[in-house]
């Protein structure tokens, strides 16, 4: 299991010089989008494999909270790319077959109210997601490959044409065809067939720094383009190979960065966007609790700083169609303690990450809501309601509340973007307060 804080990254000032240029470009109508094309806005949520443990966030909670009915896609985090250049399950860091498909789920915790039996070939989260799809026709489930602490082997795996073909084939075999390793009665050929509707690439980051120890090469940039093409080719071929009544289009997406320097180091934007159905823009961790000064982590608008608006403009400028850009929104906050300097606390020195429930400096929205309601903290809002923060004189938390995510959802609609993505679903309140606000913001006319 990887802690949430390890899925995030800190930006330096390396790309800041490009922000002034990008600020002159406003999101406009998409030249690549056919006239009259009005696709339904996407609502994408990441479900964390490890959230079933400490947080006790189960797939069933997506149904009881009403969240599932408001989603178009669930991204399951994460599938593992191993040192052998293949998608692997078991005996590898980050892989947890017990959570994925081995763990028996009792009736009280099951989406359909029926407990798993000893002879089921598919149990655990995978079976619960299958049940969730049965209750919510049209809901799609994507396997997300990599993550912050799971991207170490991408560069090696995709160096050659043969390597790319092997990686893609193994991922399709495991997740799309559903051929899972046998574990007692669980798994086997086709055990998870039909569960996953596509692949989400979460390589952090091709061509630039990610987690310590990741291999980085200048050729990651063209190799990523070739990897995307290989996924598109093999997914299309498999979808067409199915019996006529079962043929389908398997979707392909990616999680992509906000920093212009990282975009330019790793992404041939105009080329890859032809093969992606959409990409999920990083809309958070613009600043993180490991920094020495407090700052916004997810502002919609910001002057001479990272922001959602700057991210959208950066991708549009490089040739991305607007309707394929999905805006990421956080269901957690970044926090500092020992904040001095007075005022509203923003832009002030701090002594370190604030104490939190799971990982210092990172707190789920459902807990931040309690702080906001406690009377101890004062709530502040930034430019055009595009971000919010709490400050008690010592501790500061920057986060998105319902007002902020509604504002961002309106921005998505007004600028012809593809929808909203959230990291991660387990941070919301039990009644789905944030996802409801996003849903209302995306549907309001």
pLDDT in tens, the chain (445 residues): 333 333 333 343 333 333 343 333 444 333 333 333 334 899 999 999 999 999 999 999 999 999 999 999 999 999 999 999 999 998 888 999 999 999 999 999 999 999 999 999 999 999 999 999 999 999 999 999 999 999 999 999 999 999 999 999 999 999 999 999 999 999 999 999 999 999 999 999 999 999 999 999 999 999 999 999 999 999 999 999 999 999 999 999 999 999 999 999 999 999 999 999 999 999 999 999 999 999 999 999 999 999 999 999 999 999 999 999 999 999 999 999 999 999 999 999 999 999 999 999 999 999 999 999 999 999 999 988 899 999 999 999 999 999 999 999 999 999 999 999 999 999 999 999 999 999 999 997 5
Q: Which whole-number Å values give the CA distances from 267 to 17, 63, 230, 264, 283, in the listed order?
A: 19, 36, 15, 6, 17
Measured distance CA(15)–CA(259) in Å, rounded = 6
pLDDT at 253: 99
Q: Where are any strands of DSSP class E within 300-436?
A: 325-330, 332-337, 352-353, 362-364, 378-381, 388-391, 396-399, 419-423
Contacts of residue 309, defined as CB under 8 A and 6 or more positions apart, other chains included, come to 27, 300, 301, 302, 411
Q: What local confidence, expressed as pLDDT, does residue 445 receive?
A: 54
Is 40 assigned a catalytic role?
no
Q: What is the pLDDT of residue 112?
A: 98
Q: Which two tokens stand for residue 393?
A: 């004189």
3-state secondary structure of 342: coil
CB 253 within 8 A of CB 201: yes
Give the pLDDT of residue 15: 38
Determine phi and psi for 82, rounding to 5 degrees: -90, 175
Give me the phi and psi of 188, to 5 degrees please.
Answer: 105, 180
Q: Where are the beta strands (DSSP E) in 266-377?
A: 278-281, 325-330, 332-337, 352-353, 362-364
CB distance 281 to 259 below 8 Å: no
The tokens describing 329, both together, are: 């929104």
pLDDT of res. 92:
85
CATH superfamily to which 39-330+400-443 belongs:
Glycosidases (3.20.20.80)
In contact, 396 and 336? CB cutoff 8 Å: yes
Q: Which residue out of 63, 204, 230, 363 is catalytically annotated? A: 204
């Amino acid at each position: 299991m990887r802690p949430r804080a390890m899925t995030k990254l800190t930006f330096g000032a390396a790309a800041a010089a490009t922000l002034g240029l990008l600020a002159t470009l406003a999101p406009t109508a998409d030249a690549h989008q056919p006239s009259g094309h009005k696709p339904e806005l996407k609502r994408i949520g990441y479900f964390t494999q490890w959230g079933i443990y400490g947080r006790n966030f189960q797939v069933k909670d997506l149904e009881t909270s009403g969240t599932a009915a408001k989603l178009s896609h669930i991204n399951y985090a994460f599938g593992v790319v191993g040192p052998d250049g293949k998608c692997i399950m078991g005996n590898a860091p980050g892989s947890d077959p017990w959570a994925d498909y081995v763990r028996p789920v009792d009736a009280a915790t099951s989406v359909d109210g029926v407990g798993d039996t000893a002879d089921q070939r598919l149990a655990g989260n995978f079976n619960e997601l299958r049940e969730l799809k049965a209750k919510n026709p049209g809901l799609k489930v994507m396997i997300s490959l990599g993550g912050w602490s799971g991207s170490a082997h991408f560069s090696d795996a995709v160096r050659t044409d043969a390597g790319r073909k092997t990686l893609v084939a193994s991922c399709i075999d495991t997740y799309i065809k559903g051929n899972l390793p046998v574990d007692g009665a669980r798994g086997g050929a086709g055990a998870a067939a039909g569960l996953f509707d596509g692949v989400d690439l979460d390589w952090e980051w091709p061509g630039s720094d990610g987690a310590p120890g990741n291999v980085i090469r200048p050729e990651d940039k063209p190799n990523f383009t070739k990897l995307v093409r290989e996924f598109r080719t093999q997914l299309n071929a498999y979808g067409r190979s199915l019996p006529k009544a079962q043929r389908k289009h398997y979707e392909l997406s990616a999680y992509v960065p906000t920093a212009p320097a990282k975009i330019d180091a790793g992404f041939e934007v105009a080329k890859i966007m032809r093969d992606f159905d959409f990409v999920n823009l990083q809309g958070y961790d613009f600043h993180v609790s490991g920094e020495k000064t407090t700052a916004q982590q997810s502002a919609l608008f910001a002057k001479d700083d990272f922001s959602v608006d700057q991210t959208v403009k950066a991708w549009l400028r490089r040739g991305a169609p607007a309707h394929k850009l999905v805006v990421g929104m956080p269901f957690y906050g970044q926090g500092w303690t020992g904040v001095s300097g007075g005022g509203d606390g923003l832009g002030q020195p701090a002594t370190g990450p604030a104490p939190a429930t799971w990982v210092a400096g990172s707190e789920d929205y459902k807990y931040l809501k309690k702080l906001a309601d406690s009377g101890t903290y004062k709530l502040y809002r930034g430019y055009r309601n595009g971000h919010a923060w709490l400050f008690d004189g010592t501790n500061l938390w920057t986060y998105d509340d319902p007002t902020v995510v509604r504002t961002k959802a309106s921005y998505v609609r007004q600028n012809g973007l593809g929808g909203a993505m959230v990291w991660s679903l387990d941070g919301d309140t039990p009644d789905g307060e944030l996802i409801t606000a996003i849903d209302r913001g995306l549907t309001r006319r």
